[in-house]
Amino acid sequence: MGMYLNPGAGLFRMALNSEIYVDKSDMIAVLNRMVNTERRFVCVSRPRRFGKSLTANMLAAYYGVSDDGSSLFKGLQIGRQSDGLKECGRYDVIKVNVQEFLSAGLSMETMLERLQMRVIREICRAYPDVDYFDDTHLADTLGDVFSAVGRQFVIILDEWDCIFREYPHDEIAQRLYLDFLRNLLKDKEYVALAYMTGILPIKKYGTHSALNMFTEFSMEHPDQMAQFVGFTEDETKNLCLRYGMDFEECRAWYDGYSFPNCPHVYSPKSVVDAMINGRFGSYWNKTETYEALQGYIDLNEDGLRDAVVKMMGGGRQKINTGTFQNDMTTFTSADDVMTLLVHLGYLGYDSEEEEVFIPNNEVLQEYVNATKQGDAWQPVSQAVRASDELLQAVFDGRADDVAAGVEKAHVETSQIQYNDENALSYTLSLAFYSARRYYNIIREMPAGKGFADLVFVPRPQHGDKPALVVELKWNHDAETAIRQIKEKEYAGTLQHYGGKVILVGINYDKKTKDHECLIEEW
């Protein structure tokens, strides 16, 4: 057992020994179908703290030669499958965290030379009788082992994309690195499986990638890897039951990443910390400062600020992800920036509708933090700061104060073109930002004989708060809005809610540019 060649199961065993371990070992079954096939090159990209290194450690423990590999997996999901252990312990595993070598501050040439030296040293010790042609060249060394003894390798590269994140403008170094990987992996029979994991998909150069043999699973298209991106709804429910935590509150905080075959994916770092600490809050955000997000949303890309404000108000934004170059510097449009934010975890992506959105309250808080700085975001920041007072005005029935508060949050003073009830609803959602602490806010909620514009449903933990049904009107009057709530029985959708229900009608007069509000208790 070495540091890089067959590192063993020690790190994975630590994960199994942790207070919370969610079994994702059936991901191995997906990879086993790719071993020793033309699809044996796999790149999985996820945001930070979404379990990338834990998965790499699991794969090293499973595929590599070790004393106790199979015993660790017998009780896990992969071990309970009829052929789940067929590939267990069959290969020599080379596992490298590229960040470890990059952090040494070496030039790219020196870094790659040092990486090869460390791995080759262990290979030569494991296979001393092989006649090596060039024991300074990793690809040649692996080829010599395969030719001599028929041994195949599973190659695992963790943080494979750190070069592109830490040296985003050094294109020469990036190309040198990609050429090294291509030479090491492409068309090599000694590779039984190559698994790379990081935050970014594989970098594109021109019309093709230097690593075009890889099958990619990303936050944009995770496909059959979707359930392994984070915690599923059932996994999160089970943890809430085990720790006595309110599931609806957990959902509001950490749910939101959604894929066609896995509609609810939760941020794993945040769920684990919330369970162990016994309280909901921002945990994933604390692993990186908000300035990282601020740097991107402050970019002067056409339409980007409009889209951010719209999404902060609960809306969705149509985007084209096809022009994104899979790096952190080449932006030709607002769509490119938003596609990067999908891969970083700051936006969710609906691949069927081709729309992005802010996934949950925890991530929304990061946008609020990021928009506190800079003159361009001051109207948004002011609306958020005033949201506590606006919500209290609704509770108190102070309709004139509510109208005045909405006036302050008027989208003309921020970014979005303010021309219909839909835009007005984004304004209201942003103006009532603080309500997210207590409510699930549902836009266009099916109710009675139609769809209520905005419904604020208190989460169980906040059952002392009244429910709110808000109807918006454009160039009508607030009385018409209240009447519509009653006539179409929108409040009837809350018939099983035992607390107070407040009806709120808001109208915007396009001619006078005034807002009007009526409030009634139902």
Contacts 24+ apart (CB under 8 A), 134-138: 138/184
| Residue 154 dihedral angles phi and psi, to the nearest 5° | -105, 120
What are residue 104's phi and psi, to 5 degrees? -75, -10
The structure tokens listed for 11 are 């790190």
For 93, 326, 336, 376, 510, the CA distances from 169, given in Å and listed in that order, are 32, 13, 17, 27, 48
With a pLDDT cut of 90, the percent of the chain lying above it is: 59
Mean pLDDT of 394-410: 88
Q: What is the model's pLDDT at position 414?
A: 47
Per-residue pLDDT band for 417 (boundaries 50, 70, 90) equals low
**Residue 375 class from Cβ within 10 Å (0-12 exposed, 13-18 middle, 19+ buried)?**
exposed
Of the two residues 326 and 419, the one the predictor is more confident about is 326
pLDDT > 90? residue 280: yes
Residues 36-46 have pLDDT tens digits of: 999 999 999 99
Please give the average per-residue pLDDT across 112-119, as a whole number.
96
- Tokens 């080759």, residue located: 120
The 10 Å Cβ neighbour count of residue 28 is: 25
Q: pLDDT tens digit string along 224-268?
A: 999 999 999 999 999 999 999 999 999 999 998 999 989 999 999
User: What is residue 207's predicted lDDT score, i.e. its pLDDT?
Assistant: 44
pLDDT for position 276: 97
Helix (H/G/I), strand (E/B), else coil: 443: strand
Q: Which residues of 484-515 are buried (b: 16+ CB within 10 A; e: fewer)?
A: bbeebebbebbeeeeeebbbbbbbbeeeeeeb
Strand 355-357 to 215-217 pairing: unpaired
**DSSP β-bridge partners for residue 64:** 91
State whether residue 511 is helix, strand or coil: coil
Residue of 359, 200, 339 lying closest to 270 (CA atoms)? 359
Token pair of 20 as six digits: 């919370």
Lowest-confidence region among 12-21, 140-149, 356-365, 491-500: 491-500
Long-range pairs for 187-190: beta carbons < 8 A, 24 or more residues apart: 187/213, 188/139, 188/142, 188/143, 189/146, 189/152, 190/142, 190/143, 190/145, 190/146, 190/151, 190/152, 190/153
H or E segment to which residue 450 belongs: strand 450-458
Amino acid at 364: L
